[in-house]
Amino acid sequence: MVNNKLAFVYVYDALCGWCYGFSSVMTKLYERYKNQFDFEVLSGGMILGDRVKPIGASADLIQIHIPRIEETAGVTFGQPYLDILKEGTQVQNSEKPSIALAVFKSYHPEQAVLFAADLQKAKYLNGADFEQDEIYVPIAEKFGIRGSEFIGKLHDEKFKQDAYYDFALSKQLQVTGYPAAFIKTGDLNFYMVAKGYADYDTMVLRVENVLKQVSA
């Protein structure tokens, strides 16, 4: 941990709709606590291997969750995403957006919460296809990273390994669903503060409770 600050560890997946709902909560938590915590984001690897399929394979389940996520989290799923869901052929694979997060963290690890939120907006508002290199360019450039440089690193084996290291850390934390969040107070001390979606006020209460315990 840097500067003896505690760490706030957010485990998400770019293809997790509830994480999209939680992204605004995480952004607000980041703005509130960024001077108290080092914020870390791990990709969970929700859809890998034989789970990689066209979105049409899970479209019915996604359609069931969309109204609940919109009502609970106050987010909107854009028409371009709904069109892709209906069309059904866009491949869903967590690997590439997870590599993109790993690349981003090599530049601005402290802003990973914001990058993750922008990735999900690109997907769920604009229907971005994470398999296409060009969708990462405007997001990277927003943070002052040259697009061509970012894409080059997106195909570097090192960052693929970094992404899979994130997946392994997520498993070590015994995360079985997303989103999840922890406060890390030592090498082996983790307080879980989110297991699934929680609203901002609830998260603040949980965080403050951990801070009281740590300072007691």
Q: Please spell the DSSP secondary structure of 14-71, one letter per residue.
A: TT-HHHHHHHHHHHHHHHHHTTTEEEEEEE---S-GGG-EEGGGGHHHHHHHHHHHHH
What pLDDT tens digit does each residue of the chain (216 aa) get? 344 689 999 999 999 999 999 999 999 999 999 999 999 999 999 999 999 999 999 999 999 999 999 999 999 999 999 999 999 999 999 999 999 999 999 999 999 999 999 999 999 999 999 999 999 999 999 999 999 999 999 999 999 999 999 999 999 999 999 999 999 998 778 999 999 999 999 999 999 999 999 887
Domains of the chain: 2-215 (3.40.30.10)
